[in-house]
Structure 1
Amino acid sequence: MSRAPSRRRGPAVVAAAVLAVAAVPPPALADHTAPPARVTLMGSLQSELGCATDWDEACTATDLAPVAGSSTAFEGVFEVPAGSYAHKVRLDGSWEQAYGLGDDDAPLVLEAPAALRVRYDHATHAVTVAPAQAQPGLVRADRDLARSSLREDLTRERFYFVMADRFENGSPANDDGGYGGDRLVSGLDPTAKGFYHGGDLKGIIDRLDYIEGLGTTAIWLTPSFKNRPVQGAGENTSAGYHGYWITDFTQIDPHLGTNAELEQLVDQAHARGMKVFFDIITNHTADVIQYAEGTQAYVPKGTEPYRDAAGNPFDDREVAGSADFPALDAATSFPYTPVFAQPGDATVKVPAWLNDPALYHNRGNAAFDGGESDLYGDFSGLDDLFTERPEVVAGMKDVYRTWVDFGIDGFRIDTVKHVGTEFWQDFAPAIEEHAAAGGNDDFFSFGEVYDADPAKLSRYTTEAGLQATLDFGFQARAQAFGTGRSATGLRDLFAQDDLYTDADSNAYSLPTFLGNHDMGRIGRFLAEGGAGGEELLARDRMVHALMYLTRGQPVVYYGDEQGFTGDGGDQDARQDMFGSRVASYNDDDLIGTDATTEASNFDDQHPMYRWIAELSALRERHPALADGAQVHRYASDGPGVYAFSRIDDRDDVEHLVAVNNAEQAQEVTLDTASDRAKFKGLWPAGTADVRATASGEVTVTVPPLSAVVWRAGSPIKRSTAAPVPTFTTGATVGGRAEVGVDVPGDGLNQVTVAARPVGTTAWTVLGTDDNAPYRVFHDVSGLPQGSLLEYRAVVKDHSGNLAAAGTSATVGPAPAVVAPPTDGGGPVVQPGAVSVPGSLNSEIGCPGDWQPDCEQAQMALDPETQRWSLTVDLPAGTYEFKVAVARSWAENYGAGGVRDGANIALVAPGGPVTFTYDHATHRVEAATG
């Protein structure tokens, strides 16, 4: 039973507080009344607390008592059984003054019985519910929770990504794949960039010395299975040289060689200490199925649902991967009727189960717009597998278990975001477990999720269960940095690494790259930024240094070590390493050489080849540069220096790295964790030594378009006690909730965060973070609102000392804005004015909405925090807003801190809202309560 809502609106802190701490706390409400004589906890839990009934207006057993020393606070402690409840706090027996979730009842969900402290503050009308007993400081059980940041998956590989058809022709006998001389049958035409050129596995075997000499530890092959040789019509005709049009998942494409030659390649690579990775596909096969209706426009499920064999509509998401998935009829279950253009097409796929047209989505082409069709639509006409069907899941696991048994060391998985999460949650661990059962505990899979947003990429390593994803976020920021953009882009990227942190993975495993066979080459991107000649070579070297010295596992796209550039992406970025006959390749202006692709390009004296080999050797000699903790130190607000430390917790020796993308030398002062230590100039040769001050600062000069590495001459000084952490998490967690922990000082710490439902005893580790800001992201979207949780943080410092802290929070709405905090940077010039224009302006006294020059919308700068803030009282409702600089729209920031970005949504429960803005990061927040 729910009583009448209050007509007075108060801030429901328990349900609407944003996780980040507001720069300025909200003031007391201007309209608050005198302190009440009686405060009563009302709700559906009263009968459990000694009252005759629920919502019992006469019961005094749930009255809250005044808190000693406070004129506004009231609280009570209650033993509450497990269950789901609704509650409010009522003042002086009047429903005119009752506070819950805004005007509504506040939910409370307990998984187990618990003693709870209910507190009401009349100054803010905030109601909070928390465990009656605060968590203690460090206890013996915390030693079991204290973890080290994960390095269990591969973190030290150096990949060479090679397209076999374009690398080296080791056997001309297989050039036409045994299909004969007709280019439209065999797909062979070395003069056409969209056809087979003759490269093969034998060619890779013949060039293993070259690949190894680059410092490669893992060779990643484009898909190598048997493909449909030619697809398309007219000017859209092209060949399957790239490997993404598979018809037979059990044998190597005859254009590339044989299964025996693959075995030879794997054996010889392993003998040299190099791994071999396969590029695999589970989303689609070759384009074999046609639609009888003669059209390919996507048909949404809302327009035409799937139907079982009996004609009943059903939602495949509800039965995805389960034995409850119904039988289907290819003739009646789909919006399109699948047919075969040629009789032979009906049996062309291997294994044979792939020939069943009911195992495909049959909905038309994907729109690539982020909607439903991206999961269910055909990828440019390719047959899209019904990966929700358990037969497809089982079949794909069987296919790829076979290749694991072949000795392959890992998979790069294509088109991951076009397959549902449920598939990956089954497929990924099954493959990993099969490899481990066969003796390969290091088997490693990483997915291609073509998106530069870490919030989206990380979903596939946390929720979907993949070990890693290709780091498209790094590629975007590294490209921008390489062309002279602000160093803060890199700072902001790495600050979001915590999104990847969970109990079994983190960002240190992410393969990083600068360009690829789809988007194009880094050389072209840098040239399009305006660089040429020696400057282009310098920038190419600089971004490769950045990739090799930052966290993650660097991937070199074949040919980049020879200065390849290209005219664009896709076919224009797939040049031949052996002598090419493609005119549009041969007119490319290569970086660092006068050579062209018309001649063979395996020059181990090319400046980029030598540079990458040197970086590989540096990374090999100093493992901290591969997977040591990466700690942010400095980022110029514009072209200039990005600096960071790399520290291996096995020896606690700090490596300091600074990369300068400006065309002038830069002098910067950097913090370190190594007080008074001498930092030896480690790389490149001739780098001067520097010494840290008593406070750990060093002043260094970084040459233009270059990278420099220093190494401390001694480990970080041992500590006698770990710093005591405090939680920065607010009273409410929602959605993919940021659980933040503040750790005093600048030391090297590893912070493990765990969670449990209030009333239970077993902690679940959420993850371990090894650099500030310390935090994990806890996905509570599947928990009922009102669920009460406890969090525990255990700090392990570099000397092994421990400290701990705890807090609690209630599951509520997701925060209005999810934006990663960053940890300072270079000099920031604050603007003269910052405002909050939006649909809320008329509610705060402006003449109209969306007015950046309105006086009431102007923020104030806190001189200590250097953050802007504005607190206003808003009626309950849904609003949109942005932040504008200098009272105009010329410079404005929206969702995600993006300039000219999307409007930011805000759901206000009624009461004070505090807006904050950090001009260093363009981070925007709105905290209610």
Structure 2
Amino acid sequence: MNPKSIISKTTYLLSAICLSLSCTTSAKKYEIEHLEPAFWWVDMQQKELQLLVHGENISELSPRINSDQIILKKVNKVDNPNYLFLDIIVREGTSPHTINIEFLEGDKIATNYQYQLKAKNKNHAADVSYSSKDVIYLITPDRFANGDKSNDKVPSLTEGLDRQHPGGRHGGDIQGIIDRLAYIEDMGYTQLWLNPVIENNQPNYSYHGYSATDFYNVDARYGDNALYKKLSDEAQKRGIGLIIDIVLNHGGSGHWWHNDLPMADWYNNQGKAYLGTNHKREALHDPYAADIDAQTFSDGWFVPTMPDLNQKNPFMAKYLIQNTLWWIEFANLSGIRVDTYSYPDKAFLSEWTKRVTQEYPNINIVGEEWTTNPAIVSYWQKGKQTPDGYQSYLPSVMDFPIQDGLVKSLKNKENWNTGLNELYRVLANDFLYPAPDNLVIFPDNHDMSRIFTQLDEDYELFKIAMTFMMTTRGIPQIFYGTEILMSNPGTDDHGVIRTDFPGGWPTDSINGFTGKGLTNRQKSAQQFMKKLLNWRKNTPTIHQGKLMHYAPENGVYVYFRYDEYSKYMVVINKNTEATEIDMSRFSQMLGKAKSLNPVLNNRPITIEQTMIMPAKTATIYQVH
């Protein structure tokens, strides 16, 4: 038989069957290209959920849900006919199941979507979250370890592998981190913060992760969503939590919606000439500020390839809130770090933090407010009595003032106002914070020169800095490679700062994980850090004890951490010679104590009226 006759006859028969069965297929083809979030959970605190549906002319269709447990509350049509926003309600007591969302053209089903409602985690990592008991290990995933060479180049993503270029993709991935969890645990870290791992399909400089092109999928060069969840699961088996890096302020110009935006105000300054942010965060607090300065700070773009998201748009606001909740629940995450915290709309930030903490009451969230002014940093912490009445629900803030004070205190000459006095004064400003013990402290991070470089590669000062970080109040965060003295001499190029951890690639001649090829000083630093971290890990007084410090004198700074069970004395002697100190000055804390036990070498010494402290050291003593 002629093939054309077969096709014609088949088409006729199918048409006849369709008519006899009241077929629900549409003559015009409609496809759902994106539906986000792709699934959800029952028993969430907030019962309303908004689905973003995207597909060519999808707004011509009428959605329908046939369920007595799920209510389609409202169908929102917007400027662009390729979008629908569906407001649905998941009733209290709804069981996990799959619903069929039908999209009708007239009375016929043009397309549908099987939407899964899953069971919520009963024992969630966010119920414990991170706190001052933890030390956070910050990793730039592209630069830590390559565990899967097959994903070094992904055809659907524009930027390939170029390990020789500091700003290029180097091939590190999630599998590489999973493979090194034993090392991370052995060193004494208890939380992992990864720079964003979601898709960044940008033509260049995409490895850092802060230009999202898909808010719901892990970048294929790192792995996939399932592997990210596996990392969380495997880390938790070792007592390590996983902190997500969330970006609320901006996305990437390669995002799938960028050339088909839902509405005219999806971005700030959308359709206008490029306007960059002025980075003048002071304008949000300045009693004399012009409105234009505050508006430019919040609504200006970081760079032309990072569109500024308009959180004043209620659909965008819900999208970002739901996206955060989705990742927390999907990957069983222990907490959140928020990039460029103060740049989004202030009212939105209050609502976002409130919504997240309502869903996960014990979750810790730290916001990045990059200023050395503690008055501005403290403004954002929950419980702060602000001059303008602003109410924040943000539990923690990155403590940039103490980072700056630490470096200055160790590098500047000692006099009545500089040197260790600069660190002392930063801590004296803690009255500004509602909860100073919950601040995240750090010697450096992925956006600044490494601490060993900042301290001019002075190893003794490095050890002082690390000792202070592990014994003062707050939650320490350490950047990957700090333990082996990674540095960036002569440049502040971020690609160099975020250089590859040696040993993360099979061809590396030096291996920081095993110690092969490290210098004696690097090995010494690694062992020092390991001992210090694991001591801290098992010392509750440092986690939750009070702090008392004494104003620095003659290049010596003394402080105590104490509770009803234990007491520790930390002595920082910045002088290049051993220095005598009068112990009677510390009688309020020492009381009738007889001896001091240096915790890292276990050689007790008797307390005398005057004592000699070794040169250029920070020594931790347990008081007995």
* Same structural fold, with TM-score higher than 0.5 when normalized by the shorter chain: yes
Match of 1:513 in 2: 442
Cα deviations across residues 200-257 of structure 1 (Å, max 9, x unaligned)?
Answer: 0000000011111110000110011011232xxxxxxx32101001011111011111
Maintained 8 Å contact 2:202/2:253? no
Match of 2:376 in 1: 456
SS, match of residue 179 in structure 1: coil
Question: Partner letter of residue 423 of structure 1?
Answer: F
Task: Tell me how far apart the structure 2 counterparts of residues 678 and 482 of structure 1 sit (CA, whole Å).
Answer: 31
Task: Tell me how far apart the structure 2 counterparts of residues 423 and 701 of structure 1 sit (CA, whole Å).
Answer: 55
Does 2:268 match 1:361? yes
Pick 1 or 2: higher relative contact order, CA cutoff 8 A, min separation 6: 1
Maintained 8 Å contact 1:538/1:706? yes
Match of 2:146 in 1: 169
1:426 CA drift (Å): 1.0
Does 2:197 match 1:197? no
Match of 1:635 in 2: 552
Maintained 8 Å contact 1:215/1:613? yes
Does 2:232 match 1:266? yes
Residue 488 to residue 569, structure 1, CA distance change in 2 (3 Å): farther
Residue 344 to residue 678, structure 1, CA distance change in 2 (3 Å): closer
Maintained 8 Å contact 1:550/1:626? no
Task: Tell me how far apart the structure 1 counterparts of residues 589 and 353 of structure 2 sit (CA, whole Å).
Answer: 39
Task: Tell me how far apart the structure 2 counterparts of residues 356 and 186 of structure 1 sit (CA, whole Å).
Answer: 29
Match of 2:244 in 1: 278
Match of 1:545 in 2: 467
1:357 CA drift (Å): 4.6
Match of 1:645 in 2: 560
1:449 CA drift (Å): 0.7
Question: Partner letter of residue 180 of structure 2?
Answer: R
1:712 CA drift (Å): 2.7
Which sits farther off after the overlay, 360-369 or 197-206? 360-369
Task: Tell me how far apart the structure 2 counterparts of residues 547 and 665 of structure 1 sit (CA, whole Å).
Answer: 23
Higher strand share: 1
1:677 CA drift (Å): 1.7
1:633 CA drift (Å): 1.9
Residue 446 to residue 573, structure 1, CA distance change in 2 (3 Å): same
SS, match of residue 635 in structure 1: strand
1:355 CA drift (Å): 4.8
Instruction: For structure 1, list consecutive stretches of 5 or more residues without a partner in the other structure.
Output: 1-150, 231-237, 290-342, 348-353, 582-595, 693-697, 714-929
1:474 CA drift (Å): 1.2
Cα deviations across residues 630-684 of structure 1 (Å, max 9, x unaligned)?
Answer: 11123136xx211111112x43x32211112221222223423342222322323
Between Structure 1 and Structure 2, whose CA radius of gyration is higher?
1
Cα deviations across residues 187-206 of structure 1 (Å, max 9, x unaligned)?
Answer: 42111111111000000000
Maintained 8 Å contact 2:129/2:241? no
TM-score by length of 2: 0.69
Maintained 8 Å contact 2:192/2:240? yes
SS, match of residue 161 in structure 1: strand
Maintained 8 Å contact 1:490/1:642? no
TM-score by length of 1: 0.47
Cα deviations across residues 112-145 of structure 1 (Å, max 9, x unaligned)?
Answer: xxxxxxxxxxxxxxxxxxxxxxxxxxxxxxxxxx
Task: Tell me how far apart the structure 1 counterparts of residues 502 and 237 of structure 2 sit (CA, whole Å).
Answer: 25
Q: How does 1:824-835 map to 2 (within 5 A)?
A: none
Match of 1:483 in 2: 411
Residue 288 to residue 172, structure 1, CA distance change in 2 (3 Å): closer
Question: Partner letter of residue 259 of structure 2?
Answer: A
Higher helix share: 2
Q: How does 1:41-190 map to 2 (within 5 A)?
A: 154-179=131-156, 185-190=158-163
Q: How does 1:698-709 map to 2 (within 5 A)?
A: 699-709=610-620
Aligned residues: 454
Task: Tell me how far apart the structure 1 counterparts of residues 264 and 532 of structure 2 sit (CA, whole Å).
Answer: 50
Match of 1:63 in 2: none
Does 2:524 match 1:607? yes
Question: Partner letter of residue 447 of structure 1?
Answer: G
Cα deviations across residues 500-531 of structure 1 (Å, max 9, x unaligned)?
Answer: 12xxxx0111111111111120011111xxxx
Residue 423 to residue 667, structure 1, CA distance change in 2 (3 Å): farther
1:465 CA drift (Å): 2.4
1:484 CA drift (Å): 4.6
Instruction: For structure 2, list consecutive stretches of 5 or more residues without a partner in the other structure.
Output: 1-127, 282-292, 385-390, 414-418, 516-521
Maintained 8 Å contact 1:225/1:253? yes
Does 2:623 match 1:685? no
Q: How does 1:665-814 map to 2 (within 5 A)?
A: 665-669=578-582, 670-671=585-586, 672-685=588-601, 687-691=603-607, 699-713=610-624
Does 2:356 match 1:379? no
Question: Partner letter of residue 279 of structure 2?
Answer: F
SS, match of residue 387 in structure 1: coil
Cα deviations across residues 581-611 of structure 1 (Å, max 9, x unaligned)?
Answer: 9xxxxxxxxxxxxxx9863432458222211
Question: Partner letter of residue 448 of structure 1?
Answer: E
Question: Partner letter of residue 471 of structure 1?
Answer: D
Equivalent of 1:221 in 194, 217, 229 = 194
Residue 222 to residue 478, structure 1, CA distance change in 2 (3 Å): same
Task: Tell me how far apart the structure 1 counterparts of residues 604 and 613 of structure 2 sit (CA, whole Å).
Answer: 11
Task: Tell me how far apart the structure 2 counterparts of residues 152 and 459 of structure 1 sit (CA, whole Å).
Answer: 23
Q: How does 1:9-24 map to 2 (within 5 A)?
A: none
Residue 388 to residue 558, structure 1, CA distance change in 2 (3 Å): same
Cα deviations across residues 843-867 of structure 1 (Å, max 9, x unaligned)?
Answer: xxxxxxxxxxxxxxxxxxxxxxxxx
SS, match of residue 265 in structure 2: helix
Maintained 8 Å contact 1:166/1:578? no
